Amino acid sequence: MKRFLATMIAGISCVAMLAGCGNSASTETVAEPATTETAETTETTETAAVETPAEPVKVDKLTIGFVPSRDPDEIVTATEPLKELLTTELAGLGYEVGEVDITVGTSYEAVGEGLSAGTIDVGLIPGGTYVLYEDGCDVILTATRDGLSIESPDAKVWNDNKPTAPTPENQVTFYRGLIIAGPSDAGKAISEKVNNGEEITWEDLDGLNWSVMNSSSSAGYIYPSLWLQSNYEKHITDLTHAVQADSYGNAFARLASGQIDVLCCYADARRDNEEKWTTEFGRTDSIWDETNVIGVTDGIYNDTISVSKTSAVMDDAFKSALTQAFINIGNTDAGKEVISIYNHNGYVEAKPEDYESERKAQELIKSMQ
C-alpha cells in the first residue's frame, strides 16, 4: 500500500509542479502554514453584465462532472434540479442548451482528466484537483460556504465544543481538514490522549488503521499529509496501514464498523454523515459521541467551478455566461438546496492566483519524496 501511494503522489505532484510554475506573483512561502487563518465573511455578488449574443446560441449538450466526495447516487439525485435551473439561467443569457448531462467521476482524477480531454465541459472540483489539471481547465468560480461554530487549529477545542453547527451569517471561502478517530479500541485510546492533553507520537499514529482519499483530495490526502509533515516530518506514504476510500461515506462506514481507526475528511463531514451513523452504519450512539478530532489541518481554499479548455462548446463568452448563471443559481433558495450537497452556499468569481497556496502544497508534497 505504501508503495502504491508513493507512486501515485510522486506522479501527480510532478504534474502539479508543471502546472504551478507559471504564476510567480504570490510572495507566500511553504514555510508559512495558514494556522492563523480566520474566516473571512464574503458576499455572493453578481458579475459585470454579461453581453447577450445577438442571436440565441445553441448548445446541444453540456456535461457537468462532480467529484465523488459523497455517495455517487446521492449526488446524482440531489443535483437533478440543477439541469433545469442551469438551462433556464443560460436561456436568459442567450444560450439554448438542449441537454445537461450530470456525471459523477469514479475518482477526483477522472473528473480532472475529463476536463482536460474536453469530455467534461464543467467540473465542480476541489482546489487541489484544479491545480493538478489547470493546464486543461480554467477556474471561474469559488464556492462560499457557511462558517462553522468551531474554527480552531487545536483538536481538543473541536472535541470540547462538539457538535459543530453552521453559522450562515458568516460566509467563508476556506475550510479545514480534520483527522477523526472512531469507536474502535485504538480510536478511543488515541482520542483519550488528545482529550487529556497528552502528546501524540508518530508511533501512536503509525499503529492506527487509516483511511485516506485519493492523492488529489485536499482534505482527504494533501493537507493531512502536510499536517503529518509539519508535526512529525512524515507523510501519508510513511503510514504502515493506510487504505484509500472511494468516497467519504464509505470511509465513515468503515470507521463505524471498526475496520479503520481514523479517517481524513473535510471539517463538516460528520454533519453530512450524522444520520447515516445510526441508520445505515449501524451504530447506537451518535457520531458526535463516538468520534473525536485528533488533528486539524491548515485552511483549505474552497472548491471550484472550473471549465474545460478543450471543450468544443467552450469559449470566453460562454464562460462568462456560465459564471453568471452559477452565481444567479447560488442566490436562489432552489439553487442553494441543490449545491448544498457539497456544502456550498453560493459562488464568487475566482482567479488562478487564488489557488497559489494549493500549488505550494503540491510542491511541498513533491519535496517530501
Say if CB 177 and CB 264 are below 8 A apart.
yes
For residue 307, the one-letter residue type is: V
* Total residues belonging to the chain: 369
Distances (CA, A) of 353 to 23, 97, 130, 358: 7, 31, 12, 10
> Looking at residue 369, what is its pLDDT?
61
- 295-309 CB burial, b ≥16 within 10 A, e <16: bbbbbbbbbbbbbbe
Gap between the Cα atoms of 121 and 59, Å rounded: 11
Say if CB 162 and CB 362 are below 8 A apart.
no
- DSSP 8-state symbol, 198: P
Gap between the Cα atoms of 345 and 337, Å rounded: 8
CA angle, corner 355, sides to 352 and 360, nearest 5? 125
Query: Matching CATH topology for 2-22+29-146+303-367 and 148-300?
Result: yes
- CATH homologous superfamily for the domain 2-22+29-146+303-367: Periplasmic binding protein-like II (3.40.190.10)
Q: How many CA atoms lie within 13 A of 236 on its CB side?
A: 35
For residue 364, the one-letter residue type is: L
- 152-172 CB burial, b ≥16 within 10 A, e <16: ebebbebbeebebeebeebbb
> Looking at residue 45, what is its pLDDT?
45
Sequence-ordered list of residues with C-beta below 8 angstroms from that of 302, at least 6 positions apart, any chain: 127, 142, 143, 144, 145, 172, 173, 174, 175, 344
Strands 137-148 and 166-172: antiparallel
Gap between the Cα atoms of 113 and 165, Å rounded: 35
Task: Specify the pTM.
Answer: 0.66
Q: Provide the strand spans (E) within the chain.
A: 57-66, 95-104, 122-125, 137-148, 166-172, 174-181, 210-212, 242-244, 262-266, 292-301, 304-308, 346-349
Region 148-300: CATH code: 3.40.190.190
Radius of gyration of the chain, Cα coordinates, nearest whole angstrom: 20
Asked if omega into 163 is within 30° of 0 (cis), the reply is: yes
Residue recorded with cell 481524513: 264
Residue ranges covered by each domain of the chain: 2-22+29-146+303-367, 148-300
Per-residue pLDDT of the chain (369 residues; tens, 9 = 90+): 433 333 344 333 333 333 333 333 232 222 233 333 333 444 444 445 678 888 999 999 999 999 998 889 999 999 999 999 999 999 999 999 999 999 999 999 999 999 999 999 999 999 989 999 999 999 999 999 889 999 999 999 999 999 999 998 888 888 999 999 999 999 999 999 999 999 999 999 999 999 999 887 889 998 999 999 899 999 899 999 999 999 999 999 999 999 999 999 999 999 999 999 999 999 999 999 999 999 999 989 889 999 999 999 999 999 999 999 999 999 999 999 999 998 899 999 999 998 988 888 878 777 766
- DSSP 8-state symbol, 268: T
> Looking at residue 50, what is its pLDDT?
76
